[in-house]
Amino acid sequence: MGISLTQPAADHLRRQLQRRGQGLGIRLGVRPSGCAGLAYVLDFVDEVNQDQQVFEDQGVKVFIASGDLVYLDGLELDYRWDGLKGAFQFKNPNARGVCCCGDSFAI
């Protein structure tokens, strides 16, 4: 299945990579956190690790550690503006629940 980006997410990520002036793409992962158990992590990628899967959508490379793929396979990453603030939204078909504050999810 892989990972997909909406047009607003791809545009935002391309702009961030351009402003940064370097980077191969973004790393999407999970870490233990919050009341539901897992939280999403986004970071820039400057070097490729051997244990990563690489997906490309709309010209943006998304790197995922092989161990995190079970939690993220099929995810759609979106970017939305709400007033003056923009934020990523994660549409994850693997998530079985989200905490009330929206900071973490459960599988």
Q: HEC profile for the chain? A: CCCEECHHHHHHHHHHHHHHCCCCEEEEEEEEECCCEEEEEEEEECCCCCCEEEEEECCEEEEEEHHHHHHHCCCEEEEEEECCEEEEEEECCCCCEECCCCCCEEC
Say if residue 37's pLDDT is above 90: no
pLDDT digits (tens, 9 = 90+) for 61-93: 999 999 999 989 999 999 998 888 899 999 988
4-106 maps to CATH 3.30.420.40: no
Q: How confident is the model at residue 50 (pLDDT cuts 50, 70, 90)?
A: confident
Give me the residue spans of the domains in the chain. Answer: 4-106
pTM (2 d.p.): 0.85
pLDDT digits (tens, 9 = 90+) for 9-29: 999 999 999 999 989 999 999
